[in-house]
Amino acid sequence: MNRPAFANEFVYAREATPFLIPGRPDFRYDLPKAWRHFRRLVQNKEDTTQVFPIFEALPWKGLIEAARTFCESEQGRAIFHTEPFLPAILDDHEALRRMPAGSLAHAYCDFMEKEGLTAQGLVDEFEAFLGDRPRFDDRFQWYFNRMRDVHDLMHVLTGYSRDALGEVCVLAFTYSQQPSLAHLFLGYAGGMEIKSRVKSRAPVLGAVREGQRLGKACPRLVEQSILELLPIPLEVVRRRLKITPASQYNEVHKAWRGLGLDPFDLLAPKAA
């Protein structure tokens, strides 16, 4: 076998990848567009095709500099070589299941299999959204893609489910990790929408704020070696990343169930 030579060729090819290829459009805010797609999203929270335009309309203007700082760091260069495409790693459940029981890998597989999700599925939705726009094979795109691809890992690590409240709490958590106005808007506008649907004293906005605080305490997941974290016991990973239990989220679920409400059916698609 000539693996070292192949590995070296791969490293050299990756090293030649520029940080930023010119030609991307400037980041610009478009609040009416964000609101229009948000209203469509609340009609059906499963319609994730509405999420991408919201992020395009409410971008993180410091993203390029954040990506540059990481990509030029020693850790960033190492992860760039070892984790070129996260969905290929995350969708290989056969390999992940060979990791120790109780690990982040097993918890991730359990979550994705229960929900019927794949990491590649989100990639495919994003590619459909891009349509015939030009693609940029640079390190910035790699960093940008990782922000998308760690979303479901955040669900697993935080304990937020995929109910409506769980999704907005993850978005609030993500805002502290990746501070685009889209995360903040979706988190709090989504929380207000939930409160308008369910008249109760449950601390919905408290749960969203708690998610934001939890994300602030946690180092950026996009900048961690996912391959290193996957074999580690889930609770150990949470402690390492300073992720503590989301008490307010559980309080809301408890209050709703006390009212005879199903937390997983609050924002079901509305009938025409």
How many residues would you count in the chain? 272
CA nearest to 170, candidates 67, 80, 51? 51
Specify the pLDDT at position 267: 59
User: How many degrees, rounded to 5, is the angle at CA 117 between CA 51 and CA 95?
Assistant: 130
CB contact at 8 A, 25 and 133: no
For the record, the structure tokens of 192 come out as 């207000």
**pLDDT over 80 (residue 271):** no
Predicted pLDDT of residue 56: 92
Give domain status of residue 21, yes or no. Answer: no
Closest by CA position to 67, among listed 24, 124, 12, 127: 24
**DSSP string computed for the chain:** --HHHHHHHHHHHHHT--S--S-PPPP---HHHHHHHHHHHHH-TT-GGGHHHHHHHS--TTHHHHHHHHHTSHHHHHHHHH-S-HHHHHT-HHHHHTSPTTBHHHHHHHHHHHHT--HHHHHHHHHHHHTT-----SHHHHHHHHHHHTHHHHHHHH---SSHHHHHHHHHHHHHHS--HHHHHHHHHHHHHHHHHS-S---HHHHHHHHHHHHHHSPPGGGS-HHHHTTSBHHHHHHHTT----HHHHHHHHHHHHTT--GGGTTPPPP-
Residue with tokens 């359990």: 110
Q: Per the domain annotation, does 9 fall within a domain?
A: no
pLDDT tens per residue, range 87-137: 999 999 999 999 999 999 999 999 999 999 999 999 999 999 999 999 999
Q: Residue 66: what pLDDT?
A: 97
Tell whether 131 is covered by a domain.
Answer: yes
267 located within any domain: no
What are the pLDDT digits (tens) for 211-261?
999 999 999 999 999 999 999 999 999 999 999 999 999 999 999 999 999
Q: 202 is in which domain, residue-wise?
A: 26-260
Cβ atoms 21, 137 nearer than 8 A? yes
Do residues 107 and 238 make contact, with C-beta atoms less than 8 angstroms apart? no
In a domain, 5, yes or no: no
**pTM, entire model:** 0.89
Bridge partners (DSSP) of residue 233 are 103
Residues 6+ apart with CB under 8 A from 154: 160, 170, 173, 174, 221
Domain count, the chain: 1
Residue 41 lies in a domain: yes
Condensed to tens digits (0 to 9), the pLDDT of residues 42-92 reads 888 778 789 999 999 999 999 999 999 999 999 999 999 999 999 999 999
> Is 268 within the bounds of a domain?
no
Residues β-bridged to residue 103: 233
115 belongs to a structural domain: yes
Q: Could you give the CA distance from residue 60 to residue 182 in angstroms, rounded to a whole number?
A: 8
